[in-house]
């Protein structure tokens, strides 16, 4: 088929514009051990449809592969260079509100943290939310396998939630799924009836937290301050379940999104409110969020992040609507442009 220029998740999968992957200079310090970098488990250019989309590594609810940009996943050299930059910085350099870490031990938390680092790097390769969707990899399956192994070994009583692209704002985040849909494929995986969204200060929201967490917003404040979706579902259906999204691809045409995206306002606000009250995405608990009510740039971005990760995880970890089903990215650019003027 987020945001993340808002937004800015992420995770769920939508359409993504063709990305002119640049060759980055190698990093000389704090490079990660390539042996510990999660494998994509997929290759680019599988079964092209002639419009720039190819089969992804994950099947949708219709049993067919979710479409991804044919250049996704990127070549390993380009990806590793970006990952090294991000790990050295401690955050996604093209989307600084998205934190990450890359621990090297073999604990479940560390394996999930490395998956998260790979996922948010993938989704923000060229800018906030401008990258490849998680559905162009087997990251979700890898996260489930790690959780299953943990349960089998008895080291944990519960299987960790799936990873999410919009991952959490914590340094070690195990949500590689949700943010994935931000810069995702043509049709996001499991894009069910959406309900809410928001992101912190990145084009594609990938789990960011704000320092302003002392006061819990009221229901009225949430409804008033929730970033508008800026788009409606069901525009120009193509007969295969896809409709036009709010963002154009590099070909000048709207990126395709599931026709039920974005969700209606009632579902959006209800889900957003539930997530804000919990302090994390209820259906993908590793993805943290905050919803400060002041008008600072950081708080406006935090609300966008909250909205973004909400819509990307409407029906489960990484199962929701892509950011391109909203105008969150444009809203974030406007917020940040105003802050620099």
Q: Report if residue 11 sits inside a domain.
A: no
Q: Report if residue 187 sits inside a domain.
A: yes
Return the pLDDT at 128. Answer: 77
- Using pLDDT thresholds of 50, 70 and 90, give the confidence band for residue 15: very low
Q: Which residues contact 196 (CB under 8 A, 6 or more apart)?
A: 226, 263, 267, 268, 269, 270, 271, 272, 273, 274, 275, 306, 307, 310, 311, 314
* Domain span at 111: 34-340
Q: Give the other-Cβ count within 10 Å of 296's Cβ.
A: 12
Q: Report if residue 147 sits inside a domain.
A: yes
Distance CA(95)–CA(156), nearest Å, equals 33
Sign of CA dihedral 79, 81, 83, 89: negative
Give the 3-state secondary structure of residue 53: strand
Please write the tens of the pLDDT for every residue from 71-97.
999 999 999 999 999 999 999 998 887
Q: Into how many domains does the chain fold? A: 1
Return the pLDDT at 185. Answer: 34
- Using pLDDT thresholds of 50, 70 and 90, give the confidence band for residue 152: low
Lowest-confidence region among 10-14, 124-128, 134-138, 236-240: 10-14
Higher pLDDT, 57 or 129: 57
Query: DSSP character for 165?
Result: T
Q: Which residues contact 231 (CB under 8 A, 6 or more apart)?
A: 245, 246, 262, 325, 326, 327
Q: Is the pLDDT of residue 124 over 90?
A: no
Q: Report if residue 6 sits inside a domain.
A: no
Kind plus residue range of the DSSP H or E element containing 258: strand 254-258
Higher pLDDT, 222 or 155: 222
Q: Does the pTM of the predicted model rise above 0.95?
A: no
Q: Which residues contact 23 (CB under 8 A, 6 or more apart)?
A: 77, 78, 81
Q: Report if residue 2 sits inside a domain.
A: no
Q: Report if residue 3 sits inside a domain.
A: no
Please write the tens of the pLDDT for every residue from 252-307.
889 888 899 999 999 999 999 999 999 988 988 878 889 999 999 889 999 999 99
pLDDT cut 90: percent of the chain above it: 34
Return the pLDDT at 151. Answer: 56
Q: Report if residue 116 sits inside a domain.
A: yes
Return the pLDDT at 218. Answer: 93
Return the pLDDT at 30. Answer: 67
If we measure between CA atoms, which residue out of 27, 34, 124, 115 comes closest to residue 74? 124
């Amino acid at each position: 088929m987020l945001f993340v220029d808002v937004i800015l998740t992420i995770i769920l999968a939508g359409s993504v514009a063709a990305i002119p992957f640049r060759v980055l200079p190698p990093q000389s310090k704090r490079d990660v051990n390539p042996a510990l970098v999660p494998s994509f488990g997929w290759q680019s250019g599988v079964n092209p449809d002639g419009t720039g989309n190819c089969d992804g590594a994950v099947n949708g609810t219709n049993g067919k592969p979710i479409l991804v940009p044919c250049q996704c996943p990127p070549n390993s050299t380009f990806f590793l260079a970006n990952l090294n930059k991000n790990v050295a910085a401690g955050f996604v350099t093209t989307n600084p509100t998205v934190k990450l870490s890359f621990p090297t031990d073999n604990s479940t938390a560390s394996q999930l943290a490395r998956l998260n680092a790979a996922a948010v790097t993938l989704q923000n390769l060229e800018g906030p939310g401008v990258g490849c969707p998680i559905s162009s990899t087997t990251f979700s399956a890898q996260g489930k396998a790690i959780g299953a192994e943990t349960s089998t070994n008895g080291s944990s009583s519960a299987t960790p939630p799936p990873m999410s692209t919009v991952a959490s704002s914590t340094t070690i985040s195990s949500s590689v799924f949700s943010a994935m849909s931000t810069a995702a494929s043509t049709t996001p995986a499991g894009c069910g009836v959406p309900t809410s969204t928001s992101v912190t200060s990145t084009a594609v929201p990938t789990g960011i937290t704000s320092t302003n967490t002392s006061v819990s917003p009221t229901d009225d404040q949430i409804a008033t301050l929730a970033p508008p979706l800026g788009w409606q579902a069901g525009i120009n259906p193509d007969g295969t379940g896809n409709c036009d999204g709010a963002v154009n691809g590099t070909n000048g045409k709207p990126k395709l999104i599931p026709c039920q995206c974005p969700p209606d306002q009632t579902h959006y606000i209800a889900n957003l409110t539930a997530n804000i009250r919990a302090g994390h995405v209820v259906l993908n608990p590793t993805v943290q969020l905050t919803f400060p009510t002041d008008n600072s740039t950081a708080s406006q971005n935090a609300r966008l992040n909250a909205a973004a990760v909400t819509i990307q995880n409407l029906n489960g970890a990484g199962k929701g609507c892509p950011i391109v089903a909203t105008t969150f990215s444009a809203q974030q650019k406007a917020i940040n442009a105003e802050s620099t003027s």
